[in-house]
Structure 1
Amino acid sequence: MMPKVSEQAIAEYDAVAAGLESAGVVRGSMFGMPCLKIGKKVLAGMFGDAMTFKLPPEPREKALALPGVDAFDPGMGRPMKEWVVIPLAQSAVWPDYAAEALEYVAG
């Protein structure tokens, strides 16, 4: 079951999505959650009042050091290897990690 999403989280997610449009990033859906894609590859998504990002090792470790950030587990009891979930409280860094994810996925 998907967590509830606040209006503030939607606004922050929309801002991140808009900031990546010029790079060819489009909105989509993955497992019923809103996501951002480049081509057919997913680079980020929204999960409740948080965003998820697919990151290479160094940025992933840096993100995991932030308060409230964790490895992303979509509810199956096993975190996804390259993914982190960054809460709304840390939304100021969402654009930075979205750019990192785009570079990683598109590279």
Structure 2
Amino acid sequence: MASDHEAMRRAHEHFDPIAEHELTLPDVDMGRMFSTDGLRIRGKVYAFIAHDGTLVVKLPQPRIDELADGGGIDHMRMRGREMREWATVPLAYAATWDGLVTEAHDFVASLAGD
């Protein structure tokens, strides 16, 4: 089993090119979330890499439920509590990360009245 440091390194190999593109979009920057850097739109975080190397994205709860039905992707849990609008996406699903980050960007932008 890979260490968290190794998992983060591998995850960033996939995430960093996505983030590089996202940072070219209007009102997008990087900021802190759960002691890691995440993508933000107008100050609201929508995607980041967790310490275990999973992608975490903010999406509508029904969309996360849909993704979770397929297995592997699930609601984020903090201290045993399910986070309604946050999904964890393991590195095994890295091929979906670009699309999910785009969905998260669009969702959070819509919450801010974009």
Percentage of identical aligned residues:
30
* Aligned position for 1:36: 39
What's the C-alpha RMSD, in Å, of the aligned pairs?
1.6
Higher strand share: 2
The TM-score, its normalising length taken from structure 2, stands at 0.81
Please point out which of 42, 45, 56 is paired with 1:52.
Answer: 56
Q: Which amino acid aligns with 1:95?
A: D
Number of residue equivalences: 104
Query: Any unmatched runs of 5+ in structure 1?
Result: none
Between Structure 1 and Structure 2, whose CA radius of gyration is higher? 2
TM-score, normalised via structure 1 length: 0.85
SS of the equivalent of 1:49 reads coil
CA distance in 2, matches of 1:35, 1:79: 20
Distance 1:90 1:66 in 2: 11
* Deviations, residues 74-102 of structure 1 (Å, cap 9, x unaligned): 3x110211111000000110110111111
Q: Deviations for 1:34-79, whole angstroms, at most 9, x for unmatched residues?
A: 21101110101111211001102443233213432111013x1102
